[in-house]
Structure 1
Amino acid sequence: MAFTKKIVNTDLAPAAVGTYSQGVEHNGVFYFSGQIGIDPKTSVLLEGFEAQLNQIMKNIDGLLESQGIDRTHIIKTSIFVTDLGKFNLVNEAYIKYFQEPYPARSCVEVPNLPKGALVEIEVIAAR
């Protein structure tokens, strides 16, 4: 059997800023690239941690919507922050954004993110 994958391409989330796809679907599992707080309409990175975090959640919703799925299909998130002291804000956003049972999650502090972003989130979802 041949290996197949479908590339996700939507204007409901920011275009890729490098040599990668917005996401890839294989056998009903979606691997979405990390999202930073860029407004897809203006291609501008919002200022401030909370503004970026809220925009990221909107971008993730756009990716999901483009594939006919929603937040309940997310099974894993990976979160990258430049200041782990903001972890409480991540938890607050999680409570607003998700319902129990929550997806699996990891969160790590990194020294830098693309375009000077303060937070980046990638998700894996399944149909």
Structure 2
Amino acid sequence: MKKIINTDKAPGAIGPYSQANMANGVLYISGQIPVDPETGKLAEGIEKSTHQVMKNLEAILTEAGLTFSHVVKATIFLKSMDDFAVMNDIYASYLDAAAFPARETVQVSCLPKNVDVEISMIAHAD
């Protein structure tokens, strides 16, 4: 059975999708972009953007009763691979180095609202 996960501590969906769905103990989090849920404004620059995306992901995980330690898979979309090192350091700072999730990072030509980074995650409730 699928359960919709939604929190006002992360930005609302900008299309016909849910922030996240829980099914059979697995949480599927939609791609998050760097929108501040309190102001609705976009963070600018790769550093602030990555921090905001990770905070948005953390809010959704928390709403589902999970943490970053439950994340088993992440997908990262970057507008420019030139931002990889900065994004990677910030991303890693939110996670437990002993249990990094599987991941891919790809460069794309454009992201929603022309942001620099979007990250989606899959987490498993232990």
TM-score by length of 2: 0.95
Give the aligned CA root-mean-square deviation in angstroms: 0.8
Structure 1 segments (4+ residues) deviating >3 Å: none
Question: Following the alignment from structure 1 to structure 2, what is the Cα–Cα distance between the partners of residues 45 and 17?
Answer: 13
Question: Secondary structure at the residue paired with 1:56?
Answer: helix
Letter in 1 for 2:19: Q
Q: What SS does the corresponding residue of 1:17 show, helix, strand or coil?
A: coil
* Number of aligned residue pairs: 124
| Structure 2 SS opposite 1:90 | helix
Alignment partner, residue 106 of structure 2? 108
Q: Is the 8 A contact 2:31 2:119 kept in 1?
A: yes
One-letter identity of the residue aligned with 2:94: Y
Partner residue, 1:77: 74
Aligned to 2:11: 14
- For residues 44 and 90 of structure 1, the distance between their equivalents in structure 2, rounded to whole angstroms, comes to 20
Is this contact kept in 1: 2:50–2:91, CA < 8 A? no
Amino acid at match of 1:109: Q
Does structure 1 retain, via aligned residues, the 8 Å contact 2:4–2:21?
Answer: yes
Superposition deviation, residue 9 in structure 1: 1.2
Q: Which residue of 2 aligns with 1:125?
A: 123
Q: Partners in 2 of 1:67 and 1:95 — Cα distance?
A: 21
1:106 Cα deviation from its structure 2 partner: 0.4
TM-score calculated relative to the size of structure 1: 0.94
Partner of 2:36: 39
- Cα separation, 1, equivalents of 2:17 and 2:116: 20
Match of 2:85, SS state, is: helix
Structure 1 residue 93, shift from structure 2 partner: 1.2
Shift of 1:116: 1.0
Q: Which secondary structure does the structure 2 equivalent of 1:98 belong to? A: coil
Identity of aligned residues (%): 44
Counterpart check, 1:26 vs 2:23? yes
